[in-house]
Amino acid sequence: MDKTETALVKRVQSGDLHAYEELLDIHSHRLRAFIALKLPISHLIDEIAHESFIFAHANIQKFDPYTDFGKWLRAIAFNLIRREVQRYRRKTMNEKNFFEHVLVSNEAGFDADNDELIVFLEECIKRLPDNQQKLLRLKYEEGENSIEMSEELGQSRAWVRTTLCRIRSALKKCVESKIAVSQRLS
């Protein structure tokens, strides 16, 4: 944990809420992305992240400021995710929540506690070719649908959808290879 975060945690422990806002700013993106990979259900991602930050603040006095705050957050989130997964698995699979059951019941094989998971994903996204980065930007930043993207890129709608799937598959392989290298080196 760098000195800046250590200082921020100490300030929070002394009651400084502004310091916690700074910690939020540092960690909210990556924590939410971490949760998204583990439990990709839209309405739960921010809710679990929200609860994780609340829990962390409520327990900040128990946290050692010289250790990794982000790792602690992910551990809290992971426990909350497991709780949600258990709840979902108890429910009957039906038409209404079939999609969510599929998402909960087929977990990806990522190591849940891999601290570098999101960093690797960010690196892999940056390494994508320009045309693929453009496609991601149109979908995720501009919020365009497949018809709009196909018109802008001069491609068919099927091409747009298929390419998006392939990009995500490529990102998964990229992240997995980085994790493997990281584990060999550690």
Binding site for another protein (CB under 8 A): 17, 20-21, 24-25, 28-29, 32-34, 36-38, 40, 42-43, 45-47, 49-51, 53-55, 57-59, 75-76, 79, 82-83, 86, 90, 95, 98-99, 102-103, 105-108, 118, 121-122, 125, 136-137, 140-141, 145-146, 158, 160-162, 164-166, 168-169, 171-172
Q: Distance between CA 133 and CA 49 in Å, rounded?
A: 27
Q: How far is the CB of 111 from another protein (least distance, A)?
A: 14
Which of residues 10 and 139 has its CB atom nearest to another protein in the complex? Answer: 139
Identify which of residues 53 and 69 has a Cβ nearer to another protein in the complex.
53
Q: Where are the alpha helices (DSSP H) in the chain?
A: 3-13, 17-38, 42-58, 69-90, 98-105, 117-126, 130-136, 146-153, 157-185
**Nearer to another protein among residue 2 and residue 46 (C-beta):** 46
Whose Cβ is closer to another protein: residue 105's or residue 185's? Answer: 105
Compute φ and ψ for 37, nearest 5 degrees: -70, -30
Rounded Cα gap, residues 73 and 9, in angstroms? 13
Distance CA 151, CA 37 (A): 30
Task: Compute how many other C-beta atoms are within 10 angstroms of the C-beta atom of residue 178.
Answer: 18
CB 50 → another protein: shortest distance, Å? 5
Q: What minimum distance in Å lies between the beta carbon of 109 and another protein?
A: 9
Shortest Å distance, C-beta 186 to another protein: 23
Separation between Cα atoms, residue 158 and residue 57, nearest integer Å:
46
